[in-house]
């Protein structure tokens, strides 16, 4: 085997080898990331990620703080019956965002251009929101952000119940 043949062999093997090494080095974070995605649906309208795993993680975080005995259809959450589930979800998100912005503004925290998560982080750093409550709020925000347009009434009711338990 000549040097040129050896170099050609290396050129052919290098990229698959590097890909295999990267997969082996980062397999645990990759498995965790794919686990958080839930199901992925690809259709003519594009890719859709379900938020089941984010909702389950939020429910685990809230644990016993949620009121027992929520029916599968969900509790009555104070929305007009005319609102669709996704519209109800938008109202929940708006409520969280407004609450965080008002709290930050009251504490002289600049909120311009900041996401709800970054505002929440700053409120925790200033000891305005306790860390335990912050974890719950962050899980709730994550679940809401991952929610699909096809969210059900029961799922919205679960999210509303989580929000009610931390307010």
CA 52 to chain centre: 10
Q: What is the pLDDT of residue 146?
A: 82
Residue 30 to residues 9, 54, 143, Cα–Cα distance (Å): 30, 16, 20
| Residue of higher predicted confidence among 33 and 60 | 60
Contact 134, 124 (CB under 8 A): yes
In the predicted structure, residue 167 carries a pLDDT above the cut 70: yes
Q: Which two tokens stand for residue 5?
A: 């043949």
Quote the percentage of the chain above a pLDDT of 90. 21
Average pLDDT over residues 11-24: 91
Q: Is residue 102 domain-shared with residue 128, that is, in the same domain?
A: yes
Residue 43 forms part of a structural domain? no
The pLDDT assigned to 106 comes to 92
User: Do 61 and 13 reside in the same domain of the chain?
Assistant: no
Per-residue pLDDT, averaged over 9-32, amounts to 87
Q: Are 96 and 139 in the same domain?
A: yes
Q: Are residues 56 and 32 in the same domain?
A: no
CB 67 within 8 Å of CB 161: yes
Whether 85 and 160 map to the same domain: the answer is: yes
Convert the pLDDT of each residue in 71-115 to its tens digit.
Answer: 434 444 455 557 888 889 899 999 999 999 999 999 998 989 888
Residue 46 inside a domain? The answer is no
Task: Find the mean pLDDT for residues 151-155.
Answer: 86
Average pLDDT over the chain, rounded to an integer: 79
Q: Strand ranges (DSSP E) for 9-112?
A: 40-43, 46-49
Q: What is the pLDDT, as a whole number, of residue 40?
A: 58
> 3-class SS at 151?
coil
Q: What are phi and psi of 43, to 5 degrees?
A: -145, -170
Domain range for 147 is 51-166
Neighbours of 143 (CB within 10 A): 24
The gap between the terminal CA atoms of the chain, to the nearest Å, is 73
Number of domains in the chain: 2
Above 50 in pLDDT, residue 142? yes
Measured distance CA(103)–CA(148) in Å, rounded: 28
Lowest model confidence (mean pLDDT) among 36-40, 83-87, 88-92, 132-136: 36-40
Does 42 reside within a domain?
Answer: no
Distance CA 147, CA 153 (A): 12
* Average confidence (pLDDT) over 14-30: 88
Task: Confirm whether 45 is domain-assigned.
Answer: no
Model pTM above 0.75: no
Q: How many residues does the chain have?
A: 167
């Amino acid at each position: 085997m000549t040097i040129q043949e050896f170099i050609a062999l290396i050129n052919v093997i290098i990229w698959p080898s590097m890909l295999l090494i990267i997969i082996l080095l980062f397999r645990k974070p990759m498995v965790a990331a794919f686990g958080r995605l839930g199901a992925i649906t690809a259709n003519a309208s594009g890719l859709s990620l379900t938020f089941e795993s984010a909702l389950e993680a939020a429910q685990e975080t809230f644990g016993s703080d949620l009121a027992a005995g929520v029916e599968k259809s969900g509790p009555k959450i104070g929305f007009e019956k005319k609102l669709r589930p996704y519209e109800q979800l938008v109202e929940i998100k708006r409520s969280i965002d407004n609450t965080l912005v008002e709290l930050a503004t009251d504490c002289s925290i600049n909120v311009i251009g900041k996401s709800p998560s970054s505002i929440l982080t700053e409120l925790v750093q200033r000891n305005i929101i306790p860390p335990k409550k912050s974890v719950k709020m962050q899980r709730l925000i994550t679940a809401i952000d991952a929610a699909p347009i096809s969210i059900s009434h029961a799922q919205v009711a679960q999210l509303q119940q989580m929000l009610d338990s931390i307010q």
